[in-house]
Amino acid sequence: MVINDISQISTPDDNKSPRVIISGGGTGGHIYPAMAIAAAIRKNHPDAAILFVGAKGRMEMEKVPAAGYDIAGLPVRGFDRRRLWRNIGVLLDLRKSMAICRRVIDRFKPDITIGVGGYASGAVMKVAQKKGIPNLVQEQNSYAGVTNKLLAKGAGKICVAYEGMEKFFPADRIVMTGNPIRETIAELTLTPQQAKQELGFPPGKPLLLVTGGSLGARTINESVNGALDAITAAGASVLWQTGKNWTTTDAADRYPDVKEVKFIDRMDLAYRAADLVVARAGACTISELQLLGKPAILVPSPNVAEDHQRKNAEALAVKDAAVMILDADCREHLADEVTALLQSSDRRQTLASNVARMALKGSADKIAAEAIKLIDNKQRN
């Protein structure tokens, strides 16, 4: 349920089960790990009261209620780094959001707050820290975001997915957990051939999965569109998620084994079927590739804070666990890189083996356990 009035938020009863606020969102890379953490908490504490806090107008306001959790929205938004004069309104919205957070926390009375990144996370976590409520930060990227670096001083634990994060956070509070992924992706038992058939592709042909996220990635889409002749000539099928912002082409008419879709509902099937993946380098995507052991070409988005996607991709590329193509080079080089990998099963296997070695399993359970420890420590003291 979307909470439109603070009075809709449940207040504590005599039940001693944990009361948890999970804050953040904005993209699937924040939302899906957040929901995985919530599910992990509920696994061992079925009666736990869990409330999400997100940003109004962002995708969490749809995805979280669909998963069965309550969510309250804040009028918070990101800073405009190019047009600084617009940030007056941003600051006013932040002030309103902080006031709403105080009311939400006073009514819900959480035992802990968990921040997963995104616009809403900073406001909720800052209020919680001022009120002395235990809190946990989950940093998904190899390069920490500004909000999480500011929150780290007051955090009880900081759960990370990459080595070397002590350059951003207090070393004694860091826990290496990895990033949670969607349960459906990890649990699918079909073979790649069966998954291809489920998706309507020939089971004997290699399948290229292309995804730029739910909104799409223009550079990747334009590069793939220009490379379809070479890719199909290499004997591959293509499942191409263009995102909702891309105008559909006639690719499916020109190439029988190319499917161009706005959104893939069954990413578990898509990943299982894929012999090679082309994607952006968001933290959630990389964790999925690691846990599934999928060879990939990563095209980092240049439009993210601190250029963290490039750093995510580099962390894999230096270990020969993925191929990285910079956004500026994608149109020129993507076709050659894709066809070379499609024609070399040995090279794909090397990438797959190396990326699988980087996987950290059971991430959601580990983060949930750290959250419960913080609650227990607070109650003992």
373 and 253 in a common domain: no
* Residue type (1 letter), 303: N
pLDDT score, position 91: 77
**H or E element in which residue 218 lies:** helix 218-233
Range of the domain at 267: 184-357
Task: Provide the pairing of β-strand 258-261 with 276-279.
Answer: unpaired
189 and 89 in a common domain: no
Model confidence at 244, pLDDT cuts 50, 70, 90, reads confident
212 and 172 in a common domain: no
For 67, the token pair is: 């998963």
233 and 131 in a common domain: no
- CATH at 63: 3.40.50.2000
- Alpha-carbon distance 167 to 155, whole Å? 16
Name the β-bridge partners of 158: 137, 174
Q: Which residue has the higher pLDDT, 106 or 86?
A: 106
249 and 374 in a common domain: no
- Alpha-carbon distance 262 to 215, whole Å? 9
128 and 19 in a common domain: yes
Q: Which residue has the higher pLDDT, 349 or 86?
A: 349
58 and 136 in a common domain: yes
Q: In the predicted model, what is the mean pLDDT of residues 20-45?
A: 87
* Residue type (1 letter), 288: E
Residue 338's region, left for phi above 0, alpha for psi from -120 to 50, else beta, is alpha
- Alpha-carbon distance 115 to 237, whole Å? 40
pLDDT score, position 85: 60
Burial class (CB in 10 A: 0-12, 13-18, 19+), 293: middle
Place of tokens 């804050």: 23
pLDDT score, position 83: 65
189 and 149 in a common domain: no
169 and 246 in a common domain: no
The number of domains in the chain is 2
Q: In the predicted model, what is the mean pLDDT of residues 78-102?
A: 75
Do 135 and 21 contact (CB within 8 A), yes or no? no
Model confidence at 101, pLDDT cuts 50, 70, 90, reads very high
Model confidence at 323, pLDDT cuts 50, 70, 90, reads very high
pTM of the model: 0.83
Geometric angle at alpha carbon 85, from 74 and 59, rounded to 5°: 30
In the predicted structure, residue 154 carries a pLDDT above the cut 70: yes
169 and 256 in a common domain: no
Average pLDDT of every residue of the chain: 88
139 and 127 in a common domain: yes
* Sign of torsion over alpha carbons 91, 95, 101, 102: positive
Q: Which residue has the higher pLDDT, 97 or 319?
A: 319
366 and 261 in a common domain: no
